[in-house]
Amino acid sequence: MDKREQLVRMAFDLFYRDGIHAVGINRVLAESGIAKKTLYHHFPGKNDLVAAAVEYRNQVFVQWLEQRLDAVTGREAMMSLFDALDDWFNGRDDDLQHFHGCFFINVSAEFGDPEHPIHRLCAIHKQQVAAVVRQKLAVWLDDSDKVEALLDMLLLLKEGAIVQAHVVGDKQAALKAKGAAQALLDAARV
Amino acid sequence: MDKREQLVRMAFDLFYRDGIHAVGINRVLAESGIAKKTLYHHFPGKNDLVAAAVEYRNQVFVQWLEQRLDAVTGREAMMSLFDALDDWFNGRDDDLQHFHGCFFINVSAEFGDPEHPIHRLCAIHKQQVAAVVRQKLAVWLDDSDKVEALLDMLLLLKEGAIVQAHVVGDKQAALKAKGAAQALLDAARV
DNA sequence: ATCTAAGTAGACCGTTCTGTCTACCAAGAG
DNA sequence: CTCTTGGTAGACAGAACGGTCTACTTAGAT
């Protein structure tokens, strides 16, 4: 693996665990065993490394989600969404590392200005996740208004579950969200 | 107002806007015009100032919420919850300052370890908010299992709305959550 | 009258931060 | 064969960090 990718992965690991501002460039270098010059050869500055870490995580997460929803369709796919979250929260998933909340929510907290490029990347990630779920809904339901309305509600439950799991430590949050999702799908008669 | 409270308020303002680790003690002092010795007279260290800011915000927020739910009961109270969020997101509220996401979610992102005292304070805040809403549900519904189930779902929607409003910038998130809440209450036949 | 608590200004300390720089090395391409 | 690319080790600079300290002031309480 090339040094650039090693740096990005190690940076993500540390940023996800301890936060962006709490992790210095020197720690990323020490833990990855890579020279400082090499880092500044690949990235103009820390912010660019942060951006690369965010994009890396985006790619990993979206791929993970697509895979988890791959084999199922319709209502079952929506249930799989929350089952996947449940596995994540409870450490039954190898792909996403130990759960420390949503990396993108965490990064948005540290880069609070919505105009900041790094905050924007987080917003884009959420939109990409939304697109994955929307596609699953769209092939199932004809009414595109209903698709959008259900999508909004399901994503609210998903974000809520992640927050509850991280802030309060409620590891059942995904299952509670799944229950709510079932009730909403029932109410929409789908 | 005594200096201690001035410090806490200014610290909260800055921490909420820019994040904890991005705001140095010296900036809090410069912007509040208070001497460093005074800060260290009232607080052993920065973390204690952070804790005080979290507790201050907790008090302000819970009071705000109680007030917004004061005049209403039953289903209407749940609707008021999301109307209040909508006002907050869209800057129609004077009590909570300009919206930069949930302070407690943001702080939890920077103090990711659930065992950390400051993370714990954030969890306690969420539990206090839950208690306010639970009380509103409890005086309305007899079945305490139903109260807990509805409470969980409504809080998921609330947290989800805050995240969507902040990360993606969806200022309609509260109204979408309100719609989902209505559907859930309908489904529960209350 | 005196003593204490709370305040001011700001120098200072050791540490850490991001980022630059020098000097050297290895391997593949023209 | 030489030259570029990507790499190593680590000193260094300048700023900012949290925190300590001295010296002085002010206002109440005893």
Residues on chain B touching A105 (C-beta within 8 angstroms): 105, 109, 163, 167
Question: Tens digit of pLDDT per residue, chain B (190 long)?
Answer: 799 999 999 999 999 999 999 999 999 999 999 999 999 999 999 999 999 999 999 999 999 999 999 999 999 999 999 999 999 999 999 999 999 999 999 999 999 999 999 999 999 999 999 999 999 999 999 999 999 999 999 999 999 999 999 999 999 999 999 999 999 999 999 8
pLDDT digits (tens, 9 = 90+) for A46-102: 999 999 999 999 999 999 999 999 999 999 999 999 999 999 999 999 999 999 999
Task: Tell me how crowded residue B41 is: count the other CB atoms within 10 A of its CB.
Answer: 10
- Determine contact: B157 vs chain A, CB below 8 A: yes
Residues on chain A touching B108 (C-beta within 8 angstroms): 101, 166-167
| Statement: residue A1 has pLDDT above 90 | no
In whole angstroms, give the CA distance from residue A46 to residue A32.
15
Q: Which nucleotide across the nucleic acid strands is nearest to A4, CA versus C1'?
A: D6
In this structure, what token pair is assigned to residue A80? 């799989």
pLDDT digits (tens, 9 = 90+) for A21-50: 999 999 999 999 999 999 999 999 999 999
Handedness of CA A8, A13, A14, A15 (dihedral sign): positive
Nearest to B190 by CA among B124, B122, B126, B137: B137
Q: Considering any atom of strand D, list protein residues whose CB lies within 7 Å.
A: A 2-4, 33-38, 41-42; B 23-27, 36-37, 40, 45-47
In whole angstroms, give the CA distance from residue B58 to residue B64.
10
- Determine contact: B166 vs chain A, CB below 8 A: yes
- Determine contact: B72 vs chain A, CB below 8 A: no
pLDDT digits (tens, 9 = 90+) for A132-175: 999 999 999 999 999 999 999 999 999 999 999 999 999 999 99
Residue in A with minimal Cα distance to B170? A123
- Is the overall model pTM greater than 0.95, yes or no? yes
User: Nearest-5° angle of CA A65, CA A70, CA A73?
Assistant: 110
Handedness of CA B168, B169, B173, B174 (dihedral sign): positive
